[in-house]
């Protein structure tokens, strides 16, 4: 990761809190929070720290990273894999994370269709020939809705003691604001984007003239709906090598949805059963104290408990009831639990997902549980 070590090292005079690299990542996170892109690619992703932060943004369904240095990408790429908790409680959104080994000087169809492309402290690492190709690859070919480019503002360098030439030995250039803005405006104009300038790392009081330590250009495509005429010319041949791919468990996948629905149905049924049994016990205690009410309640119980009327009772009942040592919990009642409704969407879907997975009454309209042996019900 390029933490612009000079910025970090010489804290005697300039100290950024939080550190500047975190402020850059936070800037991207805030932008994601505001515009809610579904597909985000980070070019020059290095050790994937930004990608790791972005995987927690719930709007994102596709995350991709690209870097010419495979070893730095591999350092922490395991942090992009799903954790056991992701399998225990799959998210509603789907998420696929992919890392590619390759250069922003080359076009690859895997980079098409993104909403946001970030290039954080990347362009100053590019050789002249790569920088020349960069606008055509990113804005012309990838053509995402939004591009964020950050780069050092060289006007700030005098405030960073020890910086003689560049902030990092691998930097090929560092631009002042006029240079960056002229390049960005020219690029935006050529590819039908607008661009706005901002930054992170405020200068100290009295030195505001130098501008932000990191300058940022936010590019937005002018006509997002129009399909590019060059679309047909887009290469279909891959130039990058995929070095990592993780598909997160999601409720959009029927097998995870079914597991989630079955456990939620069983949980809801258990809760209903318990409250019904508690209610019956307390009623029973009341009858013992009041013989008249007891007569009335017993009459009601007979209707439910009658063997002959079982099928009819199950079909008609919208409320749970006990018959012998079996508790009937109508599916309609279970479906009315907000969590089950949200998971299934429709009653028909609920029935479909639990068929064969949950013990149901003969007509399939109620979950049946044993009054006593809770752990043997399934």
Return residues touching ligand SAH (CB under 6 A).
1-2, 21, 43-46, 66-69, 72, 103-105, 120-122, 125-126, 130
Shortest separation between residue 120's beta carbon and ligand SAH, angstroms: 4
Which candidate, 335, 224, 256, 239, places its Cα nearest to that of 94? 256
Q: Which residue is nearest to ligand SAH (CB)?
A: 44
Shortest separation between residue 329's beta carbon and ligand SAH, angstroms: 54
Distance CA 367, CA 353 (A): 13
Shortest separation between residue 70's beta carbon and ligand SAH, angstroms: 9
DSSP for 49-78, please give it. HHHHHHTT-TT--EEEEEES-HHHHHHTGG
Q: 218 forms bridges with which residues in the sheet?
A: 148, 196
Shortest separation between residue 246's beta carbon and ligand SAH, angstroms: 20
- 44 vs 135, beta carbon nearer ligand SAH: 44
- 45 vs 200, beta carbon nearer ligand SAH: 45
- 127 vs 278, beta carbon nearer ligand SAH: 127
Shortest separation between residue 245's beta carbon and ligand SAH, angstroms: 18
- 99 vs 276, beta carbon nearer ligand SAH: 99
- ω into residue 18 within 30 of 0, thus cis? yes
Which candidate, 110, 112, 87, places its Cα nearest to that of 99? 110
- 5 vs 296, beta carbon nearer ligand SAH: 5
- 53 vs 322, beta carbon nearer ligand SAH: 53
Distance CA 57, CA 38 (A): 10
Shortest separation between residue 147's beta carbon and ligand SAH, angstroms: 14
Q: Long-range contacts: 129-135, Cβ < 8 Å, 24+?
A: 129/105, 130/103, 130/104, 130/105, 131/172, 133/104, 133/105, 133/106, 134/104, 134/105, 135/187, 135/190, 135/191
């Amino acid at each position: 990761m390029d933490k612009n070590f000079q910025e970090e090292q010489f804290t005697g005079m300039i100290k950024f809190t939080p550190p500047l690299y975190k402020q850059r990542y936070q800037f991207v996170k805030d932008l994601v929070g505001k515009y809610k892109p579904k597909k985000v690619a980070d070019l020059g992703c290095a050790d994937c720290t930004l990608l790791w932060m972005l995987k927690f943004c719930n709007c994102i369904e596709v995350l991709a990273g690209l870097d010419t240095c495979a070893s730095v990408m591999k350092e922490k790429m395991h942090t992009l894999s799903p954790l056991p908790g992701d399998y225990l409680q799959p998210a509603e959104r789907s998420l696929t994370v992919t890392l590619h080994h390759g250069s922003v000087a080359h076009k690859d169809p895997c980079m098409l269709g993104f909403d946001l492309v970030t290039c954080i402290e990347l362009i100053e690492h590019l050789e002249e020939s790569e920088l020349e190709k960069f606008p055509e690859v990113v804005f012309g070919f990838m053509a995402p809705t939004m591009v964020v480019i950050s780069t050092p503002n060289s006007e700030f360098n005098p405030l960073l003691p020890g910086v003689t030439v560049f902030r990092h030995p691998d930097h090929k250039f560092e631009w002042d604001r006029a240079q960056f803005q002229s390049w960005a405006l020219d690029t935006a104009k050529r590819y039908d984007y607008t661009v706005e300038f901002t930054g992170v790392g405020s200068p100290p009081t009295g030195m505001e003239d130098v501008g932000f330590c990191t300058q940022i250009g936010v590019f937005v495509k002018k006509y997002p709906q129009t399909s590019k005429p060059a679309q047909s010319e887009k290469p279909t041949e891959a130039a990058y090598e995929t070095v990592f791919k993780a598909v997160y468990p999601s409720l959009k996948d029927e097998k995870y949805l079914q597991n989630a629905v079955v456990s939620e149905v069983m949980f809801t049924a258990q809760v209903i059963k318990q409250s019904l049994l508690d209610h019956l016990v307390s009623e029973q205690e009341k009858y013992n104290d009041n013989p008249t009410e007891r007569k009335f309640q017993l009459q009601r119980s007979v209707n439910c408990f009658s063997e002959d009327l079982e099928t009819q009772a199950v079909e008609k009942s919208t409320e749970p009831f006990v018959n012998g040592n079996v508790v009937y919990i109508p599916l309609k009642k279970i479906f009315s639990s907000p969590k089950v409704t949200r998971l299934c969407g429709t009653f028909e879907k609920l029935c479909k997902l639990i068929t064969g997975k949950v013990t149901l009454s003969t007509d399939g309209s109620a979950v049946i549980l044993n009054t006593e042996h809770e752990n043997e019900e399934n």
